[in-house]
Each structure stands twice: as structure tokens, then as C-alpha cells.
Structure 1
Amino acid sequence: MLAIRGLRKSFGGRTVLDGFDLSVEPGEFVALLGPNGSGKSTVLRCVVGLETPDGGEVEVGGNAAMVFQKIHLVGRRNALDNVCSGALGRLPLHRSFFFPQDVREEAMVCLERVGLADRALDRCARLSGGQQQRVAIARALCQRANVILADEPVSALDPQAAVQVMELLKALAGDGMAVVAVLHQPELARTYADRVVEMKATVAA
């Protein structure tokens, strides 16, 4: 589902990734651990095109969607509208936030999948941090993603909310998706991930 070969990336002369390889199968949950500066987030950003690699190859078997540490939702809009925005890439530009019925129905299915169908009409600003992160995951599902990339998805959450999000990501992998999560909590990584990849910071020459 996801294949990364020989990925290289430098910033301002500092090498962050130097020949990184990773393969993730459908139904697999992989956690990336490592110190700050080891390139964990850069890997995910290169996969979705937020950064341009200096070299190497990235192949995605379908669509990849990213879930961020800082939850990018429109707080004044309700959860349903925020999830519908995952479909914007396949809608005419003039549709904006006026989503057709089929998209709204699909978004409701996504909200149900993350356990928040009953909060669909609540403004996101009124939701807890854990609920907002689950809305963000539902939005990724509405992008019809085959690969979910989560960049520190639980670092700002309380322990109970963090467990709920990790259990959700594990369940999505169980549904056949490929899931890659950058984490700073080794105990969560080893509890929920099928495989843990530990990255090291590149030592400058």
C-alpha cells in the first residue's frame, strides 16, 4: 500500500533523511519513533507532497491522507461540514461548504466510523481535543484514503482520549487500511502498532 525507497531530504544543508526505506502493507499499523530531528514527520510530509524529496521514490497504492498534531478544523463549522471538506478535492470549486447530499451521507458514515455520528451538528469548537482529532480522522476517511498518515496525533490529548484515538487507528488498519503514525510515546506504539520503526537523527559530517 505504501513503499518508500531511498528517501533523501535536506534543509539548509542539514541532512534529515539519508536513504530511508519503509514498506507498509494493507492492514498494517506502523509507528515511527525517534528523537526530534530524526525525520519522522518529514517522511510523512514527503509522502503527501507537503515536502519535495531530494531523492528516492514514494509509491502509494491509492490515496493518502494526513492527520496532524495541530488539529486543522474550522471551529465555527459543525463536525459534519468539516468531514465533508475531505471531499473538496473531487467537487467543483464553486461548491465550497455547500455540499451535495451524497457527500453529506458519506460524511455521516465516516463520523459513525469514528463514533461521533451523534455530534455531527455540533460546532467543532465545542468538541474536546480527542473528539476533534476523531473528526479529523473522519475527514481523512471522507478523502477516501487508503493510507492514513498521523503526525503525533495524540501528543496534545489526555491519556483517555489518546487511547481512544490509538484504538481507532488500530481499528482502521484492521479494516485493511495502511496506517503510519509518528509517536513520542513508546508504550502506545508498542501496544497498538503491528511494527515499530525507530529512527535516529542524522549526524552531521
Structure 2
Amino acid sequence: MQEEESLSTRLALRGVTKSYGERLVPDQVGRAVRPGERLGVVGENGSRKSTLLRLLAGTETPDTGEVTVAAPGHLGQRLDLSGGHTVRQVVDTALAELRAMERYLRALEAELTEERLPEYSELLTAFEARGGYEADARVDKALYALGLGTLDRGRWLGGLSGGERARLGLACLLAAAHDPLLLDEPPTTSPSPWSKNSNRPWTTTRAPWWSSPTTEHSPAVSPAT
């Protein structure tokens, strides 16, 4: 059953619990996400929605339970890089894994032997599955779709608005082709670059999770529309 589930899901939680003092958030959460499915995590401010996304992204570890996820991409409420970084550095950081994969592929090709052919084939398949050869083109496409097509790559993050930073982070996340995507709604004082009311359309076949504040008194997981 577990093997069958792993073949049909991109992400699964089984009995996941995380405690903060005496408070359990989340408490025994279980959910499977299938390819193409979109889910939203809703709850009042402070109900630890962002904690759940960090558990899914692997940046935090649950006290109990198990999280199974393929190659998640996580966009938090704010970019981790300081205002002293440039747009180009943000893009380079987002694509660092893909570029490292490509460098290793080139190194294997230079001294390819029969013994290392399976390793090369496996890495090439993973690289192509994530669209590694088109990564830089996806950055340009995503920046344009999110209204940042003319953004100078040498511009400092400190000179960008909060909304521009959020859209830049989303563009880089999309270009890195993670699956699933974990999108944490920015604070309510910042415009959301991925709200369905945005006039900057972007479509993806991947399975994103998102979180946003609501007036509900307990967190819940529901399909995103």
C-alpha cells in the first residue's frame, strides 16, 4: 500500500506532529497530494501555517510522523537574502542546484566509462525532468509574466519593493522547476504575487501548496481554487 501511494503522490504526511511548548501544531496531520492537485492551508494568524510548509519543505523536522516529498520548492513570506544582494545573485542561488547538476554531467561526460554510465544516465534523466537546459529561459519567461521583464539583473534587492521581491522569489522558484511548489502567503500588508486576482497570469502543472490568513479558528487543509 505504501509503495502504491508513493507512485501516485508527490507529497505525503503521515501522523505529523510538531510541538511548541505544550502546544501541538500540527497535531497528527495526515494528507497525500497527487500530481496536479492544488491544496491550500488556511487558519488564523499565528496558527503555524508557515510551520507546516517548512515541515513539508524539510527545513524543520517533525517531532513524530513522517513527511515524504520528492523535490520541493519553498517560497517563504520573505526572501532569505539581504538587501545587499543583487537580482542576479538571487537567480544564481535559485538555479544553483540545476547548475551543479549540469557541471557534474559535463565532468562525467569528459571521463565516461561503462561503470559510470548508470550514474550518468540517472543524473541526466533527473536533470532533463527538471528542464535543466531551459532554466535560464524560464527565468526570463517568469519575470516577464510577473511584471518584472525589464528588471536589471544588477539591481540591489534593497532597492526593490516588498511586492517586487516576492514576485522575484516566485519567478526564481518557478524557473528552478521544483515539484511540488510550497508557496507561503506574504504578510497581509504585502501584495500577493500569486493570488488568483493577479493580472499577471502564470500557469503550472505542478502541485503547489499555499497558505493564507483567514478568520477561521483552527488550521485546515483544503483544495486551492
TM-score normalized by the length of structure 2: 0.64
Amino acid at match of 1:71: L
Q: Please identify the structure whose Cα radius of gyration is greater.
A: 2
User: Equivalents in 1 of 2:61, 2:77: separation in Å?
Assistant: 21
Amino acid at match of 1:177: R
User: Equivalents in 2 of 1:102, 1:129: separation in Å?
Assistant: 28
**Which deviates more from structure 2 when the two are superposed, residues 16-25 or residues 46-55?**
16-25
Asked if 1:133 corresponds to 2:166, the answer is yes
Gaps of 5+ in 1: 96-100, 187-192, 197-205
1:5–1:21: 8 Å Cα contact kept in structure 2? yes
TM-score normalized by the length of structure 1: 0.70
Amino acid at match of 2:31: L
Distance of aligned partners of 1:135 and 1:50 in 2 relative to their CA distance in 1, 3 Å threshold = same
User: Equivalents in 1 of 2:159, 2:176: separation in Å?
Assistant: 24
Distance of aligned partners of 1:40 and 1:147 in 2 relative to their CA distance in 1, 3 Å threshold = same
Name 2:212's counterpart in structure 1: 183
- Number of paired residues? 176
User: Equivalents in 1 of 2:210, 2:89: separation in Å?
Assistant: 25
Structure 1 residue 86: deviation in Å?
Answer: 0.6
Q: Secondary structure at the match of 1:75?
A: coil
Name 1:71's counterpart in structure 2: 79
Name 1:111's counterpart in structure 2: 143
Distance of aligned partners of 1:33 and 1:68 in 2 relative to their CA distance in 1, 3 Å threshold = same
Selected match of 1:165 from 194, 207, 214 = 194
1:9–1:55: 8 Å Cα contact kept in structure 2? yes
Amino acid at match of 2:169: A
User: Equivalents in 2 of 1:177, 1:120: separation in Å?
Assistant: 28
Name 2:12's counterpart in structure 1: 3
1:86–1:139: 8 Å Cα contact kept in structure 2? yes
1:78–1:120: 8 Å Cα contact kept in structure 2? no
Asked if 1:34 corresponds to 2:43, the answer is yes
Q: Map Cα deviations across residues 86-140 of structure 1 (whole Å, 9 max, x no partner).
A: 1223445xx9xxxxx9865453344234332211433322222211101011221
Structure 1 residue 12: deviation in Å?
Answer: 3.2
Task: Decide which structure has greater strand share.
Answer: 1
Structure 1 residue 10: deviation in Å?
Answer: 1.4
2:44–2:214: 8 Å Cα contact kept in structure 1? no
Asked if 1:43 corresponds to 2:43, the answer is no
Selected match of 1:87 from 82, 95, 101 = 95
Asked if 1:156 corresponds to 2:189, the answer is yes
Cα RMSD (Å): 3.1
Q: Map Cα deviations across residues 124-169 of structure 1 (whole Å, 9 max, x no partner).
A: 2222221110101122123321122122325231xxx33x43136x
Structure 1 residue 7: deviation in Å?
Answer: 0.9
Q: Map Cα deviations across residues 28-85 of structure 1 (whole Å, 9 max, x no partner).
A: 332211134533222111111121112222222x321111112334424432331221
Sequence identity of aligned pairs in percent?
Answer: 30
